[in-house]
Amino acid sequence: MSAGVAPLLEVEALKVHYVVRGEGWLIRERHVLRAVDDVSFHIDPGETLGLVGESGCGKSTTGRSILHLERPTSGSVRFQGTLLNNLSEEELRPLRRRMQIVFQDPFASLDPRMTIGQIIAEPLSVHHLYEGKARKDRIAELLTMVELSPDFIQRYPHEFSGGQRQRIGIARALAVEPSFIVLDEPVSALDVSIQAQILALLSGLQTRLNLSYLFIAHDLAVVGQMSDRVAVMYLGKIVEIAERDTLYQRPHHPYTQALFSAVPVPDPKLAQQRKRMVLPGEVPSPIRPPSGCRFHPRCPLAQQVCRTDEPALRVVGPNHRVACHFAEESAKRFEPTFA
């Protein structure tokens, strides 16, 4: 946390557990699925925190639960100093205006039966903002902000490309003047050339409107372009969190290092030099997470202690915390090849 700046968002010991049914003949059984399991972080005004990890690690659930789109099982979320946990839906409404979300899939997230104007107007209606003629002007202004023509107001989502639809999703999120936006894999479904344009748009809007972002992605390359700090998530937990440059130059956690080796390197010579650290197996089920360190079945450095003792998220350097018993040893063996 930078000195003197009160964080915009403070998340403390957040847990989201789901009760799920067993499969097949175990359908009568109930299990607890630990989608988010004791996660803490903060986001400063105007800052982007990247949240990265493989699919199923709990990134989207973290995003939704901090916005209270679903209630956390336990833990606290403070937004601009206000504790959200005990607020009723009614009491949450004015705060919802300040916290918005953009989803991954620009095809599924826009109602095909509504015009672009109606889609962007929806949050304005909910919050009773910009009534009558002012609303039309506001929609035109928002379309311009996301670099689309205001003439699109009467058109339908199917008339637009993926990139354009994502711009519409961003305009909808911006309509109510938020100060914080969860960007849940906003470019994962788009072609690489389009990704760059959307990321540039999001960066420009951030500066102009002093927005804070939680930027979720499964790819460290994309997160690195957007984030001031980065949190790496594995099976419901943050395993490493640091300033972007620190994390990219000296990742300590073996899982973070493995994510780096999955990032494609454009230079073929460099790609050949790089020792790929292949992650064996899949992400285990969050219903029965491995004992001790949850990463131990896949970790090349795992020792006996890793199977029994869960590593705490501990400080290894300025603004840098890692949950690994052997973080220092692990950091030493990492060969940076990712520019």
| Closer by beta carbon to ligand SF4, 158 or else 275 | 275
Compute the distance between CA of residue 331 and CA of residue 335 in angstroms, rounded to an integer: 9
Compute the distance between CA of residue 293 and CA of residue 229 in angstroms, rounded to an integer: 24
120 binds, among ligand ADP, ligand SF4, Mg ion, none (CB under 5 to 8 A by kind): none
| Closer by beta carbon to ligand ADP, 123 or else 289 | 289
Q: How far is the CB of 302 from ligand SF4 (least distance, A)?
A: 4
- Find all residues with CB under 8 Å of 105, minimum gap 6, and list them: 189
Identify residues 271-290 at the interface with ligand ADP (CB under 6 A): 286
Q: How far is the CB of 282 from ligand ADP (least distance, A)?
A: 11
- Coil, helix or strand at residue 190: coil
Q: Does 330 bind Mg ion (CB under 5 A)?
A: no
Would you tell me which residues interact with ligand SF4 (CB under 6 A)?
Answer: 253-254, 293, 295-296, 299, 301-302, 306, 311, 324-326
| Closer by beta carbon to ligand SF4, 199 or else 306 | 306
| Closest C-alpha among 21, 56, 16, 9 to residue 36 | 16
Other C-beta atoms closer than 10 Å to the C-beta of 136 total 14
Secondary structure element (H or E) that encloses residue 17, with its range: strand 9-21
β-bridge partners, 242: 230
Q: Does 106 bind ligand ADP (CB under 6 A)?
A: no
Q: Does 55 bind ligand ADP (CB under 6 A)?
A: yes
Q: Does 195 bind Mg ion (CB under 5 A)?
A: no
Q: Does 123 bind ligand ADP (CB under 6 A)?
A: no
Under 8 Å between Cβ of 316 and 310: no
Q: How far is the CB of 33 from ligand SF4 (least distance, A)?
A: 21
Calculated CA dihedral for residues 84, 89, 123, 166, nearest 10 degrees:
60
| Closest C-alpha among 80, 94, 116 to residue 5 | 80
156 binds, among Mg ion, ligand SF4, ligand ADP, none (CB under 5 to 8 A by kind): none
Count of alpha carbons within 13 Å of 143, Cβ hemisphere only? Answer: 23
| Closer by beta carbon to ligand ADP, 171 or else 233 | 233
Q: Which residues bind ligand ADP (CB under 6 A)?
A: 18, 20, 33, 35, 53, 55-61, 286
Q: Which residues bind Mg ion (CB under 5 A)?
A: 60
